[in-house]
Amino acid sequence: MGVDIRKLNRMLQKEVKELFNYEAEGGPDEANPLATFCADDPEPFMVNP
């Protein structure tokens, strides 16, 4: 397949930083943005075209 996992991880890291202002620098006790919900989270994927 030739999938570059490092490139995929960097892309996901950038998206999470832009959407949730989160960087994975803390430990396991830090809240994960993909496992939490806030009413004011951006929802660009839910907008009807």
State how far Cα 36 lies from the chain centre.
11
Distance between CA atoms of 24 and 37, rounded to whole angstroms?
17
What would the pLDDT profile of 21-41 be if each residue is shown by its tens digit? 888 776 777 777 777 777 777
Given pLDDT bands bounded at 50, 70 and 90, which one contains residue 45? Answer: low
Indicate yes or no: pTM above 0.75: no
Amino acid sitting at position 11: M
Residue closest to 12 by CA, chosen among 1, 2, 24: 24
**Residues 27/33, Cβ–Cβ less than 8 Å:** no
**Over 70: is that where the pLDDT of 46 sits?**
no
**Residues 33/20, Cβ–Cβ less than 8 Å:** yes
